[in-house]
Amino acid sequence: MYSHGSSARAAASGKRGHGGRPYRPPPDRSKKDATPPPLKQCDCLIELDLFEYANPAEGTSRTHDTFGSRQAMETTVRDVRKIFLCHLQIPGRNQGNPVALVSSSVEVAIPACHYIMQRIVTQETVTARIHRNVKANLPVIAGIVYKVKTKSGHLFLQDSSTIFTLPWAVAMYVMTDPVQEMVLLQTCLDNLRFRNSSFEYQLTSHGTTMFAMASQPDIDEILHEIEQAVPVAADDPLVDRREG
């Protein structure tokens, strides 16, 4: 171990390591890029039916027009991995499969799914199947994912024609003033819970975008309550809250 005196001398003349070799500080592990968990440790799978990848490319390379270009597709895959800590698996040229979004949980996957929809340029809606926990063998939720172009709206609506329970849905809301709007959103949820003791939901978020998951009637109530509590100016381009 260096003494205080030797450390001072080393600092004055340029630090040296053991054996007189140049000193190399330890790597700053806090700056290491975050990565998603290995696939075998992931529980959630969302299958997205994108036309371009539904069938093999029949001997030609894929253009990846779905995302605008190959480069745009590769950027989306990297962003989903680095920013959202999810895996985005694109079928190869000789494959015909859904695009797979794989993550540790559905709460992690939902913001990534919204991001992917914003990067898709060929489809406004995508049929999808959400496997909330592939290891627990939970029922698959089939429905439609929407490219939400508004401040709030439905991101996902379950197909109710094949189920006998209330359909499941996901709503999203983009905050422009998180400090003020977070209080308003909490008030909305408190009001709903006060009026209906059976009201249940799950919340997740990424950045300034909030996502709520619940039965469709409860999601519809959340969106209605938000529209009443957080009015949007008439000239705001996000005022139109139509799905997709």
Span of 21-25, 44-48, 232-236 with lowest mean pLDDT:
232-236
Closest by Cα among 145, 199, 133 to 171: 145
Higher pLDDT, 26 or 175: 175
- Helix ranges restricted to H, the chain: 4-13, 70-82, 106-119, 178-195, 216-229
Residues 79-92: tens digit of each pLDDT: 999 999 999 999 99
Higher pLDDT, 135 or 69: 69
Closest by Cα among 231, 79, 220 to 151: 231
Q: Is the pLDDT of residue 194 over 60?
A: yes
Q: Is the pLDDT of residue 24 over 60?
A: no
Q: What is the pTM of this model?
A: 0.81
Higher pLDDT, 5 or 231: 231
The architecture of the domain spanning 148-244 is 2-Layer Sandwich (3.30)
CB 241 within 8 A of CB 222: no
Residues 96-151: tens digit of each pLDDT: 999 999 999 999 999 999 999 999 999 999 999 999 999 898 899 999 999 999 99
- The domain segmentation of the chain, as residue ranges, is 35-147, 148-244
Determine the pLDDT at residue 162.
77
- Cβ-based burial of 125 (10 A; exposed 0-12, middle 13-18, buried ≥19): middle
CB 148 within 8 A of CB 117: yes
Split at pLDDT 50, 70, 90, the class of 12 is very low
Section 193-219 average pLDDT: 93
Residue 172 tokens, joined? 């999203």
Q: Is the pLDDT of residue 71 over 60?
A: yes
Closest by Cα among 204, 201, 205, 183 to 192: 201
Determine the pLDDT at residue 40.
93
The mean predicted confidence, pLDDT, of the chain is 84
- Cβ-based burial of 62 (10 A; exposed 0-12, middle 13-18, buried ≥19): middle
Determine the pLDDT at residue 33.
65
**Residue appearing with tokens 């049929």:** 127
